[in-house]
């Protein structure tokens, strides 16, 4: 039987500061229809590209919610309502200007 577990977050003790990219979207980001336990969602591929050879350094936080809407509530709060909490408050997230190179 297939089911989805809901997890609000995981605290991890680290030895150095990490960097994070937050993916916010709907079912495409969430992974609806993706192979179960295969890590074949597009945010998984992004994590692999950001961390070649398993080097680490970048965390990809998937905040996709199937049925999510940008401005009005749908399947849960709208993306606009949860942006500060789910994106900006995520440890390791910097503003977009900080991601640009020198």
In the prediction, which pLDDT does 1 show?
Answer: 64
The answer to the question of residue 32 being in a domain is yes
Q: What is the pLDDT of residue 102?
A: 44
Cα 26 versus chain centre, distance: 11
Q: Is residue 38 part of a domain?
A: yes
- Parent domain of 70: 19-93
Across-strand partners of 45? none
Q: Which long-range contacts (CB under 8 A, 24 or more apart) does 83-89 make?
A: 83/24, 86/22, 86/24, 87/22, 87/24, 87/63
List the chain residues with pLDDT less than 70: 1-2, 4, 95-102
Any domain includes 76: yes
> What per-residue confidence (pLDDT) applies to 41?
92
27 located within any domain: yes
Instruction: For residue 11, tell me if it sits in a domain.
Output: no
The whole-number pLDDT of residue 25 equals 84
- In the chain, the number of structural domains is 1
pTM: 0.76
* Secondary structure class of 2 (helix, strand, coil): coil
Task: Output the pLDDT for position 101.
Answer: 47
**Alpha carbon distance 66, 13 (integer Å):** 30
Which pair of tokens denotes residue 83?
Answer: 């942006």
Q: 48-75 pLDDT, tens per residue?
A: 999 988 777 888 999 888 888 888 887 7
**Inside any domain, residue 45:** yes
Residue 100 covered by a domain: no
């Amino acid at each position: 039987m297939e089911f989805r577990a809901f997890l609000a977050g995981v605290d991890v003790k680290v030895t150095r500061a990490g960097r994070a990219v937050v993916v916010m979207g709907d079912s495409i980001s969430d992974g609806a229809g993706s192979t179960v336990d295969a890590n074949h969602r597009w945010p998984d591929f992004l994590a692999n590209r950001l961390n070649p050879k398993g080097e680490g350094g970048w965390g990809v936080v998937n905040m996709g919610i199937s049925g999510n809407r940008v401005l009005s509530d749908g399947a849960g709060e709208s993306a606009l309502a949860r942006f500060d909490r789910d994106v900006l408050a995520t440890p390791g997230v910097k503003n977009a200007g900080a991601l640009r190179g020198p």
